[in-house]
């Protein structure tokens, strides 16, 4: 008997005004699977992630994570909050609170999203900062951190939530080149724990290393998907072939 997918997305669509950004996305993700999404800019990759925790409200479709199913046509505020508790999000621009320390940026999420007591949240934040190599930066504010350190705090915040699904929206795109490696190394550490991950990235070599499956999107649709070796070395669709020629 086939094990049901940990995450199941059915018929997900989204428009901004007259522009259709996502068109009938259907995707299943297994528990512990690392799925990487690649494709041209402006093709709906980030919107897909944002719809999965209702930062953007999808026009139609259902999202199931574990035993929770949310239908866009009748999603209540309680449904959306429950869905957000099952996901954690790593933003391309870090999205840290400028007036909070590294420790406080992590504890804030644990208190507001998970409802943890402050003392427990602080203990978890400190453990996460040690894990991300930032124990000595616990009391530092974002302005005193490099871009790579800020993004590691952002990833640490997502890690601390122990979510069913971690969403990474181009986590290295805002970084100077010298900071990219440290962020990718931390993501590899997360991946080694078999954390379920959906990652949008332009880092093709990283995708080859970390992904169990790569999805190529174009025009708001999933065009092609498969194991890294198959998709990157023997793509079937002309659009995938053209994209990979441009980025290789």
Give the three-class secondary structure for 190.
helix
Percent of the chain with pLDDT over 90: 90
The span from the CA of 184 to the CA of 205, in Å, is 11
What's the pLDDT band for 4 if we cut at 50, 70, 90? low
Residue 80 lies in a domain: no
The phi and psi torsions of 191 (rounded to 5 degrees) equal -65, -35
Predicted TM-score (pTM) of the model is: 0.94
Residue 60 lies in a domain: no
Residue 137 lies in a domain: yes
Q: How many CB atoms lie within 10 A of CB 162?
A: 12
What's the pLDDT band for 1 if we cut at 50, 70, 90? very low
Tell the burial category of 150 from Cβ atoms under 10 Å away from its Cβ (0-12, 13-18, 19+). Answer: buried
Number of compact structural domains in the chain: 1
Tell me which residue of 162, 103, 161, 175 sits closest to 136, measured CA to CA: 103
The span from the CA of 36 to the CA of 193, in Å, is 16
Q: Residue 49: pLDDT above 90?
A: yes
Q: Residue 223: pLDDT above 50?
A: yes
- Which DSSP letter does residue 5 get? P
Condensed to tens digits (0 to 9), the pLDDT of residues 151-204 reads 999 999 999 999 999 999 999 988 888 889 999 999 999 998 889 999 999 999
Judge contact between 160 and 109, C-beta under 8 A. yes
> Which residue intervals of 161-237 are DSSP H helices?
177-192, 204-210, 228-233
Residue 9 lies in a domain: no
Residue 7 lies in a domain: no
Residue 44 lies in a domain: no
Residue 232 lies in a domain: no
Residue 131 lies in a domain: yes
CA-to-CA dists, residue 6 to 17, 167, 172, 190, 241, angstroms: 32, 14, 27, 18, 30
Judge contact between 31 and 56, C-beta under 8 A. no
Q: Which domain holds residue 111?
A: 96-162
């Amino acid at each position: 008997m086939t094990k049901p997918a940990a995450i199941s997305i059915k018929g997900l669509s989204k428009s901004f005004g007259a522009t259709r950004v996502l068109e009938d996305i259907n995707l299943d993700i297994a528990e512990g699977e690392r799925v990487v999404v690649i494709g041209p800019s402006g093709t709906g990759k980030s919107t897909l992630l944002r719809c999965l925790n209702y930062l953007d409200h999808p026009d139609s479709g259902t999202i199931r994570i574990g035993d929770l199913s949310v239908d866009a046509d009748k999603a209540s505020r309680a449904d959306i909050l429950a869905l957000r508790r099952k996901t954690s999000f790593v933003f391309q621009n870090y999205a840290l609170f400028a007036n909070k320390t590294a420790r406080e940026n992590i504890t804030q999420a644990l208190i507001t999203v998970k409802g943890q007591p402050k003392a427990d949240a602080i203990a978890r934040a400190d453990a996460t900062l040690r894990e991300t190599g930032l124990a000595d930066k616990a009391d530092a504010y974002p302005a005193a951190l490099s871009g790579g350190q800020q993004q590691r705090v952002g990833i640490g915040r997502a890690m601390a939530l122990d979510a069913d699904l971690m969403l990474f929206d181009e986590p290295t795109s805002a970084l100077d080149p010298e900071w990219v490696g440290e962020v990718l190394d931390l993501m590899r550490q997360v991946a080694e724990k078999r954390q379920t991950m959906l990652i949008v990235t332009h880092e093709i070599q990283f995708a080859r290393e970390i992904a169990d499956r790569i999805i190529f999107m174009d025009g708001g649709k999933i065009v092609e998907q498969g194991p890294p070796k198959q998709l990157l070395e023997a793509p079937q669709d002309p659009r995938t072939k053209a994209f990979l020629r441009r980025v290789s």
